[in-house]
Structure formats: C-alpha cells, structure tokens
Amino acid sequence: MLKLLIFFFLLCITSLHAEIDAEKLDKLNVEALLVKNLASNEILYSKEALREVQPASLTKIMTTILAIEQGDLNRSVVITKEMLQVEPTKAGYKEGEVFVLDDLIKAALIKSDNDAAMAIAISVGGTLENFTKMMNEKASSIGMIDTVFTNPCGFDIGNHHSTPQDLLVLAEYAIKNSIFNDITRLNQHIYYSLNTSRKFVALTHNQLLNQYEYAVGVKTGYTSKAGPCLIARAKKDGNDCLIIMLNSKENRWKAAKEIFEQVFVPKEDVLASL
C-alpha cells in the first residue's frame, strides 16, 4: 500500500511539474501552437497541429542541417550572381567573394541571411533545383508527411508549406546535432570574406537569447503571409521544452517565456501545493 501511495505521489509531482494552463494558451492570438516537454516526450499543448502553414525562415533549419550533415564545413564557397538573387534579410555579399561554408551556415541560422542560405543551397546541392530536391527527400525520410519545400530561404514561392507537427519533427531532428545546437545558442557571429577581408556581423533575431536565461535556441521566421514565427527551446532543472509558434499576433518572446515558466514549475512549489 505504501509503495502504491509513493507511486501516485510521484506521478502527481511529475504531472504538476509540466502542467499547462490550456485556457490561457487558448486565448493567445496565434494561428498554431505546439508545446512539447522533450524530457518526458509529452505534448503539453496543441493548437492546429496539422494546419497547413507557411514556415518562413524556419525553413533554414532544413537548409542548414543538410549542410552540416554533408560535412566539410571548412571548405570555401565562391559567391555567384545566382546566390545574390534574394530579398532581405541579406548579409550583402558581392559576386566573387569567398567564404567558409561554416560561416554561411551561421549567418543563415543566426541572422537568417537569405544570401547565405542560397549560397549554402547551391554550393551543397550543385544547383538550386537539386538542393530543393534534397530538402524534400530529407523531409520525407524523417517523417515530415505534409511539407513541400520550394526554396532554401523560406520565401512564399509556389507550394512552399509545412505544418506545425512537421516543424516539430524537423526541430527535434535538428537539435540532436551538437553543431546545430551550438550555433543556435549564439547571439552573434563575426566572420570575414577570405579574399576581400570584408567583415560581417551576424546578430541573432531570437530575442529570447538575451531576455530569458534558460533559452537555448532555435530559430525565428517571418514573411507577410507566414507572419511572425518561432521555434524556441529552453532547458531548466532537467526539463527540456520546445515551442512551435506560427503566425503570432502576440509578442513572441513574452508568450514563449510565459509558456516555458508554466512548464518549469519549481519542484518546491509543487510539493507545497500537495
């Protein structure tokens, strides 16, 4: 009997440690929202998980993980005219400049530079078309069942779309890679063109990294159709939480921080409430 009571006591603590105020989250003005406790592998909240959405620059998670996995991150990439045919955000490369692939990956992930993402795609895939094919093949292989990529940047071109559930799959896959994780934790990255010595500074768009001490990545995104998007991760006291937020009319950073705080209920508070 005592063992049974202890079991239910521990179960109660575990449940309360990851409790979500669903009514409060229901009121958030966001198109779609997923909250997962990676430590317990539990979906804590789900809104419109299967809704077709524009992923915006969250797309660059796929772009960069493909580049990371192919290896040879120290090889040189020569910037071509095709790589520069993108819209802002851009680093401002010039045709003929040479960069280390690792720097381009960091520029695409940290500052979300579209010329960096395009340079990655063409250098890794050989052609833009081939790299897009690689993106879709990878998506299929990791279980993204309702996603179509048409470009490496996240532009709303053609049938470029995903779902919150698929983006969760992508994020969970990418964060298993230590190189990817190390990059998405960075507030900035300073690098130089190899042949012109021009200096570039990639500053993060992820304000959580400066505002919330437990934040550890992952990626922001925005287009006029997609709206403000965010995949955010935070870790505290053995808990590991991932948030997928699409087309938010809320302050993304404030909303994400409040969600994390709900998940990271201090153990002493849980005990006091029993």
The answer as to whether 34 is a domain residue is yes
CATH code where residue 234 lies: 3.40.710.10
pLDDT for residue 17 is more than 70: no
Average pLDDT over residues 146-158: 97
pLDDT digits (tens, 9 = 90+) for 19-50: 788 999 999 999 999 999 999 999 999 999 99
Average pLDDT over residues 194-211: 96
* Domains identified in the chain, total number: 1
Residue 28's CB is within 10 A of a number of other CB atoms, namely 16
112 catalytic residue (yes or no): yes
In which domain, by residue range, is 246 found?
Answer: 20-273
The answer as to whether 108 is a domain residue is yes
60 catalytic residue (yes or no): yes
The answer as to whether 15 is a domain residue is no
SS3 content of the chain, % helix, strand, coil (to 5): 45, 25, 35
pLDDT on residue 20: 83
Q: Measure the CA–CA gap between 177 and 240, rounded to whole angstroms.
A: 16
Question: Pick the catalytic residue: 36, 47, 60, 111?
Answer: 60
pLDDT digits (tens, 9 = 90+) for 204-235: 999 999 999 999 999 999 999 999 999 999 99
Question: Pick the catalytic residue: 57, 123, 162, 193?
Answer: 57
Tokens representing 105 are 């990956």
The answer as to whether 50 is a domain residue is yes
pLDDT on residue 1: 43
pLDDT digits (tens, 9 = 90+) for 230-262: 999 999 999 999 999 999 999 999 999 999 999
User: 10: Cβ–Cβ under 8 A, 6 or more apart, which residues?
Assistant: none
pLDDT digits (tens, 9 = 90+) for 153-176: 999 999 999 999 999 999 999 999
Which pLDDT band, with edges at 50, 70 and 90, does 108 fall under? very high
The answer as to whether 247 is a domain residue is yes
Q: Which of 153, 71, 160, 88 is nearest to 119 (CA)?
A: 153
pLDDT digits (tens, 9 = 90+) for 75-90: 999 999 999 999 999 9
For 156, list phi and psi in degrees, rounded to 5. -80, 70
Summary mean pLDDT of the chain:
91
Question: Pick the catalytic residue: 46, 106, 111, 112?
Answer: 112
